[in-house]
Structure 1
Amino acid sequence: MATIQKLMNKKGVSYRVQIRRKGLPNIFKTFTHKQDARRFALRIEESKSAHRAYSSKLTFSTLVEMYLSKEYLGTKPQMQRSRLKYWLNHMGEMPINDIGKDDINSGLDKLPNELSNATINKYKKLASVVFNYGIRELGLTENPTRYIRSLPEKKGRTRYLSDNERKRLFRACRASKWEMLYLLALMAITTGARRGELLNLRWNDIDFEKQVAYINNTKNGEAKVLPLTIDVINELQLFNQNDSSLIFASKITPSKPYVFYKPWKRAVKDAELEDFRFHDLRHTTASYLAQNGATLLEIADVLGHKQIEVTKRYAHLCIEHKSTLINRVMGGI
């Protein structure tokens, strides 16, 4: 709704237009003449009416398609689409303006019982993101998910390798029938990169002179540069193809990454590691950094976390390092 306020100041009279928008920041604009203020308010209101008329006919499935094609900037649209498929089956043909809190709750209640609270929250968050897109771009007035509380989640997993475990794992990787398993594990621990980021690296992404790797497609949609240790560079040189092929290419289909599940499971077993997954190499990176004095912001930067909340699972390791440092330096005072 638009309101026009008359203002008095040293320069004379002016007119400020205020337009309230539910779920969005209000619009403020000041004019010298009241007639100009009225024209501006009328133009905005007409635009809002047109958006509302359009959105009244818009179905959820159409909104999802618009979001995926115009808004989504991640690297895995198919994964995004597969999770949204549940919502499309549940309320895809419903008009957006008819969808309410009860419809969202009904969809969440019908999810399989074995799903964790964290996974259920992701379903709710995806629906919320789509509705927020509609609010920003199409003038929708409500996001029905905003009235639904997220379920409590367990603390993030922080399994990481001890020094002895790391040595055993590296030894097992070197003995693997897949000759590049050691390189993959070494890069994972020393860079903190995700599995998908490493598997999609190509030889022309490596700058051997600067000792860095360039990753253009990441989980959060932002490119990043991975500093590489001299050990990684030396290991890469053993396999260097000097072309644009995948570094960890499949032997059967070179255009696709190698499926290393079996050699990895074998190496974990030979190294006598319990409850250890490939993604835990990333936790190992963060834990080593924390134990050696890195701040949470520095760890977040290395891992590519956009939200510091995700990195806080390593906070206790940072505190332990600080306690050790304080006792070593100040203990004798």
Structure 2
Amino acid sequence: MGHIIRTATIDWDFPFGKNPVDLIRKPKIPPGRTRRLIPGELEKMREGMEKSESTYLIPMIEFAIETAMRRGEILGLEWRNFNFRTNTVLLPVTKNGHPRTVPLSSKAMDIIRSRFGLDDKRVFAVTETAVRLAFDRLMDRIRIDDLHFHDLRHEAITRLFERGLTVPEVALISGHREYRMLTRYTHISPEELVKKLG
């Protein structure tokens, strides 16, 4: 709106005087979530799923932590997009609209191989609603507070930095086109830095 009034004033000589939009206070952008897994929570999740019929959930959670992929990206994984020779997967549809090829760790590849034969087309043949409900039920059952599936992406990206990957390397994996956005996801603990400093 402010741009329109400035253009009308400067380019078309409209007599607006002072731009009224300049008087409006912009709302503050709330800080991003910083929730990470607390030691023991992943094991608690595994134990909580032992008798569940939602057998896909723990592999999906572990894959999210290993790859920093979003829930929708994981649910969209198709066998035809994997290159088992190079340990990569093509994500043709991403949040930012740009396809990306994600390098996969050996642990991520093991998770994928464990899914062979369960569905001809998709690695995780469930709906987003089913995953959300199963995840929420699990959190309630094992009494883990304030953990969302998207927090696993925060966890994954932070772990990549803790492993010593550079910003461009992490951006390649996570799909961030602007490096500054990665600062939202990095929550490196002071204890980890002490270990690095010696």
Structure 2-normalised TM-score? Answer: 0.75
Provide the C-alpha distance between the structure 1 equivalents of 2:104 and 2:44, rounded to a whole number of angstroms. Answer: 22
Q: What residue in structure 2 maps to residue 239 of structure 1? A: 115
Matched to 1:284, the amino acid is: E
Q: What residue in structure 2 maps to residue 248 of structure 1? A: 124
8 A Cα contact 1:294 1:318, kept in partner: no
1:292 paired to 2:141: no
Could you tell me how far 1:315 is from its partner in structure 2?
Answer: 5.1
Larger radius of gyration between Structure 1 and Structure 2:
1
Q: Counting strand residues as a fraction of each chain, which structure ranks higher?
A: 1
Matched to 1:304, the amino acid is: G
Provide the C-alpha distance between the structure 1 equivalents of 2:98 and 2:25, rounded to a whole number of angstroms. Answer: 29
Match of 1:270 among 124, 131, 141: 141
Question: CA-atom RMSD, angstroms?
Answer: 3.3
Matched to 2:144, the amino acid is: L
1:198 paired to 2:74: yes
Could you tell me how far 1:311 is from its partner in structure 2?
Answer: 1.5
Length, aligned pairs only: 186
Provide the C-alpha distance between the structure 2 equivalents of 1:229 and 1:176, rounded to a whole number of angstroms. Answer: 27
Q: What 5-or-longer segments of structure 2 have no aligned partner? A: 13-18
Provide the C-alpha distance between the structure 2 equivalents of 1:185 and 1:199, rounded to a whole number of angstroms. Answer: 12
Match of 1:222 among 69, 87, 98: 98
Matched to 1:237, the amino acid is: R
Could you tell me how far 1:280 is from its partner in structure 2?
Answer: 0.6
Structure 1-normalised TM-score? Answer: 0.48
Provide the C-alpha distance between the structure 1 equivalents of 2:25 and 2:132, rounded to a whole number of angstroms. Answer: 37
Q: Pairwise mapping of residues 53-64 of structure 1 onto structure 2 (< 5 A)?
A: none
Provide the C-alpha distance between the structure 2 equivalents of 1:273 and 1:172, rounded to a whole number of angstroms. Answer: 11
Match of 2:153 among 282, 287, 303: 282
Match of 1:186 among 45, 62, 70: 62
Greater length-normalized contact order (CA 8 Å, ≥ 6 residues apart): 2
Provide the C-alpha distance between the structure 2 equivalents of 1:283 and 1:161, rounded to a whole number of angstroms. Answer: 9
Could you tell me how far 1:299 is from its partner in structure 2?
Answer: 3.1
Q: What residue in structure 2 maps to residue 95 of structure 1? A: none
Q: Percent identity?
A: 26
